[in-house]
Structure 1
Amino acid sequence: MNRVPLFQMARNAALPAVAILIIGYFASAALVGPNGLLALGGYKSTLKVKSEELQRTQAMRDRLRHHANLLDPAKVDPDFGDELVRRSTGQVRPDEIIIPRN
């Protein structure tokens, strides 16, 4: 058995083998890595949850902005002011029905 051709063959195959291993590593990372194709489903569900949270937060912000406009020191809404005072002093009962005036 001649060792020179075997050594030469191993040496010739080393570079392509390393290249195949590197390509395989990056291909597997592209599929199953934290930012790979299989993680796309997780991103979509996270996006849905975050979009719903954003809508709730925007609705709360709009409600608070409306209440802040009602409490403007230049022109306080008397009904809203009365409601806040009664709520903070404990004068509102759970069975009360508020009828808005037009």
Structure 2
Amino acid sequence: MFVVFYRAVVVFAKDSICKGDFVVEYRGDRINDAESQRRRKLYHPSCTVFMFAFKWRGKTWCIDASRDDGSFGRLVNDDHRSPNCKMKKIEVNGNPHLCLFALNDIKEG
């Protein structure tokens, strides 16, 4: 088991991003629902915020991004009121990938 301590992080765009552009992939361990539930019981509540559940081929899956791998997808805040990105499932070589795409133009900074 590993422990990650959550700390507030703000992510800024280094360049302008156009509406519809790929922004970042939400990366981590792709696990089934049973493993997701097992890990949720083990993790500190601040780590479960990095677990993204989704449906694929009729089953519930999860991307567990609680382990820091240096990617930025896990740090992007999910603003439900005025989001500037939308998560989409992209299938690559038969595997799902969760990717954020811009809903509108995003200015640098």
TM-score, normalization by structure 1: 0.21
- Rg larger in structure: 1
Q: Which has the higher helix share?
A: 1
Normalising by the residue count of structure 2, what TM-score does the alignment of the two structures yield? 0.20
